[in-house]
Amino acid sequence: MTVEDIKNGQVLLIDKPLEWTSFQVVNKLRWAIKKQFKLKKIKVGHAGTLDPLATGLLIICTGAFTKKIETYQAQEKEYTGTFTLGATTPSYDMETEIDQHYPTEHLSEEIIKKTTENFIGEIEQKPPIFSAVKKDGKRLYELARAGETTEIKPRTITITQFEITNIQLPEVDFRVVCSKGTYIRSLANDFGIALNSGAYLSKLRRTQIGDFSVKDALSIDDFLNQLSNS
């Protein structure tokens, strides 16, 4: 990798570690690239945020390729992860504590797998209150953390595949292929409601964005080692 490569544009596939924000990954790479090539500034951006509690594929673009970010963001995405049934949290994931418990005795493997069919195709989905979606100029999570309630308008999204890959109640493993704008946290919450129970997202990994796979992604450390040897 040369300084010309970086300026002309590179697509870097990074396997985001747990508890890092997508912004922190971008900052780390930008700093390392500037240091390696003695640059005062270089454009570096990511094509689609992953929550700190999620891992997996993050597309990082440099230089002229930052203009392609919207194209990559619009592509279909694949996720794997785990829903924990029988409880909910305000954030729909493990960022916040459990606020309610629900029965799971009525749930069978057949019911759980059959219920996925309710979510295939074009559906309406409300983003979580703990999300970066803006309303009246403020992020929803800012309103949520301030204890403010607000009406969230649903969005139209598309889920092309939704399968249950393992069931060890209360945990249910899944794989989802979906459009841009899909919140897997909201899917967890809605799935719990459809099961006449509750559910929250307890594990999430992004495995694919369009034709890009996490199998081809580097850890941050591996990228930094590769960079220092270039």
What distance in Å separates the CA atoms of residue 144 and residue 128, rounded to the nearest whole number?
Answer: 10
pLDDT at residue 229, rounded to an integer: 86
**Of the candidates 66, 48, 53, the residue with the CA atom closest to the CA atom of residue 20:** 53
Stated pTM of the model: 0.91
The tokens for 146 are: 């301030």
What distance in Å separates the CA atoms of residue 228 and residue 208, rounded to the nearest whole number?
Answer: 27
User: Above 70 in pLDDT, residue 221?
Assistant: yes
The tokens for 163 are: 């399968």
Burial label, 134 (beta-carbon count in 10 A; 0-12, 13-18, 19+):
exposed
Burial label, 97 (beta-carbon count in 10 A; 0-12, 13-18, 19+):
exposed
pLDDT at residue 2, rounded to an integer: 86
Asked whether 4 and 19 are in contact (CB, 8 A), the reply is no
Place of tokens 């945990």: 171
- Tell me the domains of the chain and their CATH numbers: 3-74+211-228 (3.30.2350.10), 77-209 (3.30.2350.10)
Look up 221 and say whether it is catalytic.
no
Q: How does the average pLDDT of the chain come out, rounded?
A: 92
Q: What is the pLDDT of residues 103-160, one digit of tens each?
A: 999 999 999 999 999 999 999 999 887 655 555 556 555 655 555 556 678 999 999 9
Q: Which of 5, 15, 51, 173 is catalytic?
A: 51
Q: What is the pLDDT of residues 59-109, one digit of tens each?
A: 999 999 999 999 999 999 999 999 999 999 989 999 899 999 999 999 999
pLDDT at residue 128, rounded to an integer: 85
